[in-house]
C-alpha cells in the first residue's frame, strides 16, 4: 500500500502514449495522437501553426473541434516551458483496475477527452497564467472515430458541449449580419468572429501581422456585451423624443381610455385659442356698442350710415368665425337628435344674417352687438367647461388611492348617512359627462322658445310683411336667450372646481351632486378632527404617594380599552418607562368627557377637570389646565397629563363647512373621550349645537357600520382628510342651488322678452327694436345671472 501512494511523474508524451496503448484504439486514434504530439511540440518550440483543417465529417455539426482550440493556443506568444509539476503516481494495479471497469465506465463515452484536463496540463507547461474564463468554461468535447468508442456518435451533442449556434444566430439577426455557412452546418467560432473583427483583408495584405479570430473561452463575455448594446439601441429607438405636441400624441397612443389619456387630449387642445377668441370678441362688442350708441344719438351722418351697417355686419361675421366651434357643435347636436343652446345660437346667426340683408336695403343698423355678446359668452362657457374637465382629470390621474362617498339610508336617528368606501375611477368616467338636470331644462326651453319665436315671426310676417317678420324673428331669438344664460351652468361648476381641485375631490356627474344634497348625517372620526401625530403630550405632574410608573401603567391600560388618538401617546410614554399594561374590568364611558374602570382591583377615573369634580374627586387649588387628562386612583388625584391637540387647516375648514350646512348633521363616532363640545368649540370656533355626541355604545355601532359595495359613488376623493369630504358635501348643495336659480332667472328673462316681442308684433311697432335697446336688455339680465354664478365661491 505504501508503494502505491508514491508519486510518479508523467509528461504529455506519456499521456498520449497511454491512449496509443489502448487496445480499442485503431489507426485513427494513432493518427490523432501523432497530430497532437506534433502540434504541442511546435507550440513548445515557439512556432506558429497554420489554420486548422476542416473537422472530419463524422464529428457532430455543433461541436467545437479540438484542432480549433489547439490552433488558438498555438498563436500564443512562444515562451520557454518549465518542467511539468509532479503528478500523483498511479497505483501499481492501475492496469488491472482499468480492465475490470465494465458497466460504470460504459456510461462515459470513451471517445471524449475532457478539455479541462488538457487546459490544466497546458497551464503547467506555460509560464504565464491562462485567462480566468478557462477555469469556468464549459466542457469541450473531441469525438474520436466510431471504432475507438465502439458505439455510434449521438445525434445530439451532450449537455456539457458549448452550443453557440442559437446565440450566434440571434445576435447576427439583431445586428443585420448574414450567416457565412449553410443552415445544416455548424457556425464556426472563427467565422463568427470575422463578422465583428475590426481588421480588414486590405490591412492584412499591407503586411500587418493580423490574426482574425475570436477566443471561444471569452466569447460569452463579448456576446453579452453585444446583446446589451443591441438592447440599449432598441431602448433608444423606443424613447419618445421630447416635443410637446409629439410627446402628447405618443402618450395618448400608449394609454388606455381614462383620466390620463383624457388629460393629455385636453392639454393638446389647449386654451390659448379660446382665450384669444374671447378677447377679440370683446373688442368687437365694444366697437359695436360704440357704433350703436353713436347711431342712437344721431351722431352718424346719412352718408356714413351704409358704412356703419357694413361694419356691423362684418363684425357679426367675424364674431361668428371666431365662434365657429360653438356653431358647429350646435349643428352636430341637432343631427344627433338634441337641441341645445348652441343649436339656438346657430339658428340666431342665420336669422341675423337674413335680417342684415334687409338692413342693407332699408338702411337700418342690425343687432350685431347683441349677437357678438352672445358669441363671447358662448366661448367663455366653452373655456370654463374645458378647464373644469381638465382639473377633474388632473386630480384623478395623480391619485394614489380613491375614497368614494356613498349614501346609506337610516344611519342615525332616521337620517341617511354619507359614508366612505374604496372608490374606482370607472365610477367617475362612466357618468361625469352625462347631461345634468339643469342642462336638460335649458335644452327643452331653447326648443320651445325657438318654436314660439317662429310663431311670433310668422304672425308678424303675415300681418306686417316679410321684412318685419324677419326682424321680429332675429330679435326674438336674441332676447329669448340672455347672453349670461350660456355661463349660468358652467361658471358655478368652474368656480367650485377650483376649490375642489385644491383638496383632490371630484363629483361623479350630476347624479353625485343630487345624491349629496338633502338632509343627511356625516360621521366624524377621531382622525378627521385630529389626524395622526397631531396629538402630543406636553407634560405630566404627579400627585400623592403612588409610584409614577404605576400611575402611568394604570392610565395607559384604561385608555387602551377606550381607544382613540390618545392611545399611542400614552403607550409611548409607558414604553419609555418600561411599564406594562394591565387588564381592565368594569370599563365604563360616562359620556361627559370621562371614563372609568378597575385596574388591578383598584378604581381608576380619567377625564377632564369638570368630570373629576363632578365625580367628587378633590382637586388641589391652582391645578387648572385647559387641555389635560386628569387621573384619579381610588378616589385620589394621582396625575395630570397636559395634552396638546394641534389644529390642522384641513380639519378646521372641513368642520366649519359641515357646521355651516343646515342639511348636514355631523355625528361624532370617535372613541377619544376628550373630544367634548367645549374642546371643539374652543379649538375650531364652531357652533357645536349642530354636532351630535352619542354615547360610547352608539359610537361603536356607528363606527362599524357596513357600507354597501354596490352603492353608487357620489364623489371621489384622492385624499383622506376632512376637507376633501366636507367640500364635496357643501359644494354639491351650492352647485345645485346656483344651477337651479341660474336657469330659473334666465327663463324668466327669456320668457319676458318673447312676450314683449309678441306684443310689438301684434301692434306692428318697430321703433323699439333698435340695436341699443336689445343690447341693454341683454346687459340688464346679465347682472343677476352673473351674480348667481358666484354662489359656489363661498364654499
Answer yes or no: is pLDDT of 32 > 90: no
Residues 6+ apart with CB under 8 A from 641: 537, 539, 540, 555, 570, 628, 629, 630, 631
Confidence of residue 623 (pLDDT cuts 50, 70, 90): confident
Answer yes or no: is pLDDT of 587 > 80: yes
Answer yes or no: is pLDDT of 639 > 50: yes
For residues 375-389, give the mean pLDDT: 95
What is the enclosing helix (H) or strand (E) of 679? helix 677-684
Answer yes or no: is pLDDT of 216 > 70: no
CA angle at residue 761 from 758 to 767, to 5 degrees? 115
Specify the higher pLDDT residue, 156 or 415: 415
Q: What is the pLDDT of residues 80-131, one digit of tens each?
A: 444 444 444 444 444 443 444 444 444 444 444 455 565 555 555 544 444 4
What is residue 673's predicted lDDT score, i.e. its pLDDT? 86
Which cell goes with 406?
356613498
Q: What is the pTM of this model?
A: 0.66
Confidence of residue 1 (pLDDT cuts 50, 70, 90): very low
Residues 6+ apart with CB under 8 A from 73: 43, 122
- Count CB neighbours of 774 within 10 A: 23
Specify the higher pLDDT residue, 611 or 1: 611
What is residue 774's predicted lDDT score, i.e. its pLDDT? 93
Q: Of 141-150, 679-688, 712-721, 758-767, which one has max mean pLDDT? A: 712-721
What is residue 119's predicted lDDT score, i.e. its pLDDT? 54
For residues 38-42, give the mean pLDDT: 58
What is residue 145's predicted lDDT score, i.e. its pLDDT? 41
Confidence of residue 296 (pLDDT cuts 50, 70, 90): confident
State how far the Cα of 485 lies from the Cα of 344, in Å rounded to an integer: 12
Q: What is the pLDDT of residues 161-196, one digit of tens each?
A: 445 556 556 655 655 544 444 444 444 444 444 444
Specify the higher pLDDT residue, 553 or 157: 553
Q: Which of 52-56, 422-426, 452-456 has the lowest mean pLDDT?
A: 52-56
Specify the higher pLDDT residue, 485 or 3: 485
Q: What is the pLDDT of residues 596-615, one digit of tens each?
A: 999 998 999 999 888 888 88
Q: Is the dihedral of CA 407, 410, 411, 417 positive or negative?
A: positive
Answer yes or no: is pLDDT of 51 > 80: no
What is residue 559's predicted lDDT score, i.e. its pLDDT? 92
For residues 443-447, give the mean pLDDT: 95
Are 335 and 319 a contacting pair, CB within 8 Å? no
- The span from the first CA to the last CA of the chain, in angstroms, equals 103
Confidence of residue 254 (pLDDT cuts 50, 70, 90): low
For residues 458-470, give the mean pLDDT: 91
| CA-to-CA dists, residue 94 to 97, 211, 501, angstroms | 5, 44, 89
Answer yes or no: is pLDDT of 524 > 50: yes
Amino acid at each position: 500500500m505504501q508503494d502505491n501512494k508514491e508519486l510518479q511523474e508523467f509528461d504529455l508524451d506519456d499521456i498520449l502514449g497511454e491512449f496509443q496503448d489502448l487496445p480499442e484504439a485503431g489507426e485513427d486514434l494513432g493518427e490523432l495522437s501523432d497530430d497532437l504530439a506534433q502540434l504541442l511540440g511546435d507550440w513548445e518550440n515557439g512556432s506558429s501553426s497554420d489554420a486548422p483543417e476542416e473537422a472530419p465529417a463524422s464529428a457532430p455539426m455543433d461541436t467545437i473541434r479540438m484542432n480549433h482550440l489547439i490552433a488558438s493556443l498555438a498563436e500564443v506568444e512562444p515562451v520557454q516551458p518549465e518542467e511539468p509539476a509532479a503528478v500523483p503516481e498511479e497505483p501499481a494495479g492501475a492496469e488491472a483496475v482499468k480492465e475490470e471497469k465494465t458497466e460504470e465506465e460504459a456510461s462515459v463515452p470513451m471517445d471524449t477527452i475532457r478539455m479541462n484536463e488538457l487546459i490544466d496540463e497546458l497551464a503547467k507547461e506555460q509560464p504565464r497564467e491562462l485567462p480566468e474564463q478557462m477555469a469556468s468554461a464549459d466542457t469541450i468535447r473531441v469525438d474520436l472515430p466510431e471504432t475507438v468508442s465502439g458505439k455510434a456518435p449521438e445525434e445530439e451533442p451532450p449537455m456539457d458541449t458549448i452550443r453557440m449556434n442559437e446565440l450566434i444566430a440571434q445576435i447576427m439577426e439583431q445586428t443585420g449580419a448574414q450567416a457565412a455557412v449553410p443552415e445544416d452546418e455548424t457556425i464556426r467560432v472563427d467565422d463568427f468572429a470575422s463578422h465583428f473583427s475590426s481588421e480588414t483583408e486590405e490591412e492584412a495584405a499591407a503586411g500587418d501581422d493580423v490574426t482574425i479570430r475570436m477566443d471561444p473561452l471569452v466569447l460569452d463575455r463579448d456576446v453579452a456585451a453585444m446583446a446589451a448594446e443591441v438592447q440599449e439601441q432598441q431602448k433608444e429607438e423606443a424613447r419618445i423624443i421630447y416635443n410637446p405636441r409629439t410627446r402628447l400624441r405618443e402618450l395618448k397612443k400608449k394609454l388606455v381610455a381614462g383620466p390620463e389619456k383624457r388629460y393629455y387630449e385636453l392639454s393638446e387642445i389647449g386654451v390659448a385659442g379660446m382665450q384669444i377668441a374671447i378677447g377679440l370678441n370683446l373688442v368687437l362688442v365694444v366697437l359695436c356698442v360704440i357704433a350703436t350708441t353713436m347711431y342712437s344719438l344721431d351722431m352718424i351722418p346719412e352718408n356714413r350710415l351704409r358704412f356703419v351697417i357694413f361694419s356691423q355686419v362684418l363684425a357679426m361675421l367675424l364674431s361668428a368665425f371666431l365662434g365657429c366651434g360653438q356653431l358647429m357643435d350646435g349643428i352636430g347636436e341637432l343631427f344627433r337628435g338634441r337641441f341645445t343652446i348652441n343649436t339656438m345660437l346657430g339658428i340666431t346667426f342665420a336669422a341675423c344674417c337674413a335680417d342684415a340683408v334687409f338692413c342693407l336695403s332699408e338702411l337700418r343698423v342690425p343687432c350685431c352687438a347683441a349677437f357678438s355678446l352672445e358669441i363671447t359668452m358662448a366661448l367663455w362657457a366653452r373655456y370654463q367647461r374645458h378647464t373644469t374637465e381638465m382639473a377633474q382629470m388632473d386630480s384623478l390621474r395623480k391619485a394614489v388611492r380613491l375614497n368614494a362617498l356613498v349614501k346609506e339610508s337610516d344611519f342615525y336617528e332616521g337620517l341617511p348617512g354619507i359614508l366612505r368606501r374604496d372608490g374606482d375611477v370607472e365610477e367617475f368616467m362612466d357618468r361625469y359627462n352625462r347631461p345634468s338636470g339643469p342642462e336638460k331644462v335649458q335644452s327643452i326651453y331653447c326648443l320651445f322658445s325657438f318654436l314660439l319665436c317662429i310663431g311670433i315671426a310668422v304672425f308678424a310676417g303675415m300681418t306686417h310683411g316679410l321684412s318685419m317678420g324677419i326682424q321680429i324673428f332675429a330679435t326674438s331669438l336674441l332676447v329669448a336667450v340672455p347672453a349670461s344664460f350660456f355661463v349660468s351652468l358652467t361658471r358655478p361648476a368652474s368656480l367650485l372646481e377650483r376649490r375642489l381641485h385644491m383638496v383632490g375631490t371630484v363629483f361623479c356627474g350630476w347624479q353625485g351632486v343630487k345624491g349629496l344634497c338633502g338632509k343627511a348625517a356625516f360621521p366624524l372620526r377621531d382622525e378627521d378632527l385630529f389626524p395622526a401625530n397631531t396629538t402630543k403630550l406636553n407634560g405630566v405632574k404627579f400627585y400623592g404617594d403612588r409610584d409614577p410608573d404605576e400611575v402611568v401603567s394604570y392610565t395607559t391600560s384604561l385608555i387602551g380599552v377606550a381607544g382613540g388618538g390618545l392611545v399611542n401617546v400614552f403607550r409611548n410614554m409607558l414604553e419609555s418607562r418600561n411599564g406594562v399594561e394591565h387588564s381592565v374590568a368594569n370599563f365604563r364611558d360616562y359620556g361627559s368627557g370621562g371614563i372609568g374602570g378597575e385596574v388591578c382591583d383598584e378604581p381608576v377615573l380619567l377625564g377632564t377637570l369638570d368630570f373629576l369634580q363632578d365625580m367628587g374627586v378633590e382637586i388641589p387649588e391652582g391645578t387648572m389646565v385647559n387641555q389635560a387628562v386628569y387621573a384619579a386612583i381610588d378616589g385620589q388625584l394621582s396625575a395630570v397629563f397636559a395634552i396638546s391637540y394641534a389644529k390642522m387647516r384641513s380639519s378646521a375648514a372641513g368642520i366649519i363647512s359641515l357646521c355651516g350646512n343646515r342639511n348636514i348633521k355631523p355625528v361624532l363616532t370617535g372613541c377619544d373621550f376628550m373630544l367634548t363640545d367645549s374642546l371643539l368649540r374652543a379649538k375650531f370656533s364652531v357652533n357645536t349645537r349642530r354636532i351630535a355626541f352619542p354615547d360610547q355604545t352608539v359610537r361603536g355601532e356607528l363606527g362599524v357600520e357596513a357600507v354597501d359595495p354596490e352603492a353608487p359613488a357620489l364623489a371621489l376623493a384622492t385624499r383622506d382628510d376632512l376637507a376633501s369630504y366636507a367640500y364635496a358635501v357643501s359644494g354639491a348643495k351650492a352647485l345645485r342651488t346656483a344651477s337651479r336659480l341660474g336657469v330659473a332667472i334666465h327663463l324668466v328673462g327669456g320668457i319676458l322678452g318673447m312676450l314683449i316681442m309678441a306684443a310689438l308684433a301684434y301692434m306692428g311697432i318697430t321703433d323699439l327694436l333698435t340695436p341699443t335697446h336689445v343690447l341693454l336688455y341683454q346687459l340688464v339680465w346679465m347682472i343677476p345671472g352673473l351674480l348667481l354664478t358666484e354662489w359656489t365661491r363661498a364654499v
